[in-house]
Amino acid sequence: MSDELNIALLIDADNASPDHLDEVLLVLGELGTINIRRAYGNWQKPALKGWGQLSTAHSIIPVQQFDVVKGKSATDMRMTIDAMDLLYRGHVDGFGIVSSDSDFLPLAQRIRENGLPVYGFGTAKTPISFQNSCTRFFDVAALADSAAGNDESASVDDELLKVLGAAWKASKRDEEGFAPLSEVGQRAKAVSSFAARNYGFARLSDLIRSLPNFEVRTTSDGAQLVRRLR
């Protein structure tokens, strides 16, 4: 029923590149229907030209916000106010926030307190505090790699193994040590902004299969199980 969810996409155009908009729309489109699409910024700036060209093609409403003080942007405040208005109207089921700015951490936390998911999209350099404040955070560069089919292997790092290992350990396992892949995925997402797409994979099963630390098995009825090998 996720295709019936009403998703609001709010873009911090002052702090995000339009290069990966297609990937953002693809991911959010899998989670619900993006009925609200707004991009915020000072549209007099030449740097926002790329966003301006995409706004018509993707039915994104450009919201003008002048710079009140030189060197300071009022875009964040305008975007936050609009998000709270949408939240309290009660017609939105989830938010997509495109920004690499940690200033949106309190907004993400407040939205989640109301029980709604927040899907963040930004660069790998986005502060971890904002990444973890989102229900799920997506590295837009990794999304592009996944869309291009560049998902042959994952970068094995300690944090990835720690998250997946803890999720497997907390899941219900059979006598051979296999746990339902779906449960492992849900537990991983519950404790971090983990998303397989951040590692260049469209599916969690493909990510785990690429890791020598885990084994994935498919049962006769199509269910997928996973166990840690080391």
- Candidates 163, 111, 98, 104; CA nearest to 129 is 104
Low-confidence residues in the chain, pLDDT < 70: 1-3, 68-73, 146-156, 191-193
Q: What pLDDT is attached to residue 204?
A: 86
Phi-psi region at 187: left, alpha or beta (left = phi > 0; alpha = psi -120 to 50): alpha
CATH architecture of 2-147: 3-Layer(aba) Sandwich (3.40)
Query: pTM of the full predicted structure?
Result: 0.71
Q: What pLDDT is attached to residue 1?
A: 40
The domains of the chain are located at 2-147, 158-228
Q: What pLDDT is attached to residue 173?
A: 93
Q: Give the tens place of pLDDT for each residue, 162-205.
A: 888 888 988 999 999 999 998 888 888 776 667 787 787 878 88
- The most distant pair of C-alpha atoms in the chain lies apart, rounded to whole Å, by 64
Beta pairing partners, 94: 7
* Whole-angstrom distance, CA of residue 78 vs CA of residue 133: 20
* Strand pairing category for 94-98 and 61-64: unpaired
Superfamily name with CATH number, domain 158-228: LOTUS domain-like (3.30.420.610)
Is the fold of 2-147 the same as that of 158-228? no
Q: What pLDDT is attached to residue 75?
A: 85
Q: What pLDDT is attached to residue 197?
A: 77
Q: What pLDDT is attached to residue 157?
A: 72
Q: What pLDDT is attached to residue 96?
A: 96
